[in-house]
A and B are shown apart, each in its own frame.
Chain A
Amino acid sequence: MLAVSDLKIHYRTLAGSVKALDGVSFSVADGEIMGLAGESGCGKSTLGKALIRLEERMQYVGGEVTLDGTTLPIADDWAMNPYRFRKVSIVPQYAMSALNPTRRIGRMIDELLAARGLKGSTLRPELERRLAVLGLTPDVLGMYPIELSGGMKQRVVMVLSTLLDPSLLIADEVTSALDVASQKKVAGALVEFRDRGYVKSMIVVTHDLAILAQIADSIMIMYAGKLAEKAPTRTIVEAPAHPYTRLLLGSLPEVGIRFEDKRLPGIKGRPPSLLSPPVGCRFRDRCPLAFSKCVEEPPFIEIAAGHQVACWKADAHAQG
């Protein structure tokens, strides 16, 4: 189980520090697939990355991350090494373009395993079995990345990332660049891996709420570096309590909705700059429900079992 408390990560820039992650607390249970959604720049990818490796510009400011009862030394690049790949693993954004083009897939995987002090040949049977689970033949191991389609490469990276049965997998925009057909296969693969116990829990970072509605057990919505809402998938989709979640869902064109019949509203305005974020609720400027109390920051509180929201009007709003 993953527990994150009051995590703060800033980016160092010439203009000052960008508060990309400004105090987030949540937990992911064993066996849970948690979807993490929000607009670009809301901090969702930063959160995903922070759990495995801080980039050069990312600065740990505070907070704690525990995985299966052990505190992860996320601020210490060197001390994190034993956890990476074995305990926490990631399928990064554009993973499919991250494969070494000059190596056959099999050899590249062996080299990566060797870098972690593991022997490729001992893991080979398991590797082939898992590729088969995702509908890939062992032949792909003898191919170069250029010979595979985007969806196939994405699945290869997924198998590789989870080969050591990590406790937590972070999947960052893994379906975003794919066609509907490949997207569905990759989404199915994520669920398959959880069901087979290859990974205990998963954080699926994406801006595509429709795909999360298919595979996630719970969905967490972020806005401008803060958590807006977390709830079981059905609740988020059918009875969201945060006005931002409602607007986000309302701006999705679904098959069957047409401009001629029903013009979807979208969300007016832009998220605030995180260099000097405004006090109070950060969604206040764009929120149709904003009132005087919103100058104070709303706490992220539980309004029903497993349903947390940061909005002063959430209680009343959820009923209606």
Chain B
Amino acid sequence: MLKVENVSKVFRSGAFGGKKAKVIHDIDFEVKPGEVVSLIGESGSGKTTVGRMILRLTSVSEGRITFDGEDVSALKGRALKSYYRRVQGVFQDPFSSFNPIFKVGRVFRTIRREFLADLDTATWETRLTGALNAVGLEFAALDKFPHQMSGGQLQRLLIARALVLDIRLLVADEIISMLDASTRIDVLNLLGDLKRQGLSIIFVTHDLALGNYISDRIIILQKGSIVEMGATDRVFGDPQHAYTRSLLNAVPHLHERWSDAELKDLGLVKDTARFGGRLVEHQPDHLVRVYS
């Protein structure tokens, strides 16, 4: 369905754009229908940039991204609109996705005007109710202002906004980092249910436990390169790359306490970033970057 083929991204910086910085190096992966793929990495790993390129919020410098065989970068006008009917994004801060002076229902009216103007009111309302029910919200919720709702509710509204379009791929960029533990799990379970109904999800996160809980496949990014990828149980069950291991070691567990030495070892997570190397198959559906 979605294919990211040898994509790189170069950002220009400096006063006249004279300096170039390559932030994404030759990334290549695929998302199949009904699959949840997690992009995991620390800040600066390029995980958000990849999500933004898929949503066409950032251009692709090299390589291409295709959706059902169509090159996403080439889409214009009607074709682009049809792309957004199938692919939508939800971002980290739900409060900044709503205009605080309007009721939250406004985002749904905008969606209808832009994408579903041909729908008659009855069909539209059925569809809207369906989307709201899917995320566990009442119709009455649309009559509230953003400040009257919790972060989790707003985040679910934004997911409903995407669902109303009957999308096939959702790019979820750190959508639960700002939420409480109890609300987090609600949103995660919602994503799981949607996946069962066939929705593909790209789940961008820095939290390994959350990525592990929800995803079928994991992509570990370090400084813009994929260092390890594959089926979740393989990558987390048998991590091969030093970086993946160090990330997993730094995850706090409830029932296992770090020793004093482990806790105070400030150099535990070493900067193992290296450029070059290539991805080789360690076992079926498990690729690891090796440097020769």
User: Could you tell me which A residues sit within 8 Å of B by CB distance?
Assistant: 39-40, 134-135, 149-150, 179-185, 187-189, 191-192, 207-211, 213-215, 237-238, 247-249, 251-260, 263-267, 270
Pair B43/A266 contact, Cβ less than 8 Å: no
Decide if B86 is an interface residue (CB 8 Å cutoff).
no
Decide if B240 is an interface residue (CB 8 Å cutoff).
no
User: Could you tell me which B residues sit within 8 Å of A by CB distance?
Assistant: 42-43, 150-151, 180-186, 188-189, 192, 206-210, 212-214, 232-233, 236, 246-248, 250-255, 257-258, 260, 263-269
Separation of A184 and B246 alpha carbons in the complex (Å): 11
Residues of B close to A39: CB separation below 8 A: 180-183
Pair B212/A180 contact, Cβ less than 8 Å: no
Separation of A263 and B214 alpha carbons in the complex (Å): 10
Beyond contacts A180-B208, A181-B250: 4 other A-B pairs, Cβ-Cβ < 8 A, are: A185-B269, A252-B185, A253-B185, A259-B188
Residues of A close to B264: CB separation below 8 A: 188, 191-192
Residues of A close to B43: CB separation below 8 A: 149-150, 179
Pair B182/A266 contact, Cβ less than 8 Å: yes
Tell me the smallest distance from the CB of B290 to a CB of chain A, in Å. 22
Pair A180/B181 contact, Cβ less than 8 Å: no
Pair A258/B213 contact, Cβ less than 8 Å: yes
Pair B212/A256 contact, Cβ less than 8 Å: yes
Separation of A180 and B269 alpha carbons in the complex (Å): 9
**Which one of A135, A149, A207, A209 contacts B254 once the chains associate, using CB atoms below 8 Å?**
A209
Pair B268/A184 contact, Cβ less than 8 Å: yes
Separation of A192 and B150 alpha carbons in the complex (Å): 36
Separation of A210 and B181 alpha carbons in the complex (Å): 11
Separation of A249 and B185 alpha carbons in the complex (Å): 11
Pair A253/B252 contact, Cβ less than 8 Å: no
Pair B266/A185 contact, Cβ less than 8 Å: yes
Residues of B close to A253: CB separation below 8 A: 185, 188, 209-210, 212-213
Residues of A close to B212: CB separation below 8 A: 253, 255-258
- Closest residue of chain A to B237 (Cβ to Cβ) is A256
Separation of A143 and B250 alpha carbons in the complex (Å): 28
**Which one of B185, B207, B208, B258 contacts A264 once the chains associate, using CB atoms below 8 Å?**
B185
Residues of A close to B207: CB separation below 8 A: 180
Residues of B close to A187: CB separation below 8 A: 252, 263
Tell me the smallest distance from the CB of A79 to a CB of chain B, in Å. 35
Pair A213/B252 contact, Cβ less than 8 Å: yes
Separation of A248 and B184 alpha carbons in the complex (Å): 11
Q: Indicate whether A207 sits within 8 Å of B180 (C-beta atoms), given known contacts A191-B264, A255-B208.
A: yes
Separation of A129 and B243 alpha carbons in the complex (Å): 30
Tell me the smallest distance from the CB of B274 to a CB of chain A, in Å. 17
Tell me the smallest distance from the CB of B82 to a CB of chain A, in Å. 31
Pair B266/A188 contact, Cβ less than 8 Å: yes
Separation of A185 and B181 alpha carbons in the complex (Å): 22
Pair B213/A214 contact, Cβ less than 8 Å: no
Separation of A263 and B188 alpha carbons in the complex (Å): 10
Separation of A207 and B208 alpha carbons in the complex (Å): 17
Pair A257/B267 contact, Cβ less than 8 Å: no
Pair B208/A135 contact, Cβ less than 8 Å: no
Interface centre among B181, B183, B248, B263 (most CB of A within 10 A): B181
Pair A238/B255 contact, Cβ less than 8 Å: yes
Pair A259/B251 contact, Cβ less than 8 Å: no
Pair A255/B251 contact, Cβ less than 8 Å: yes
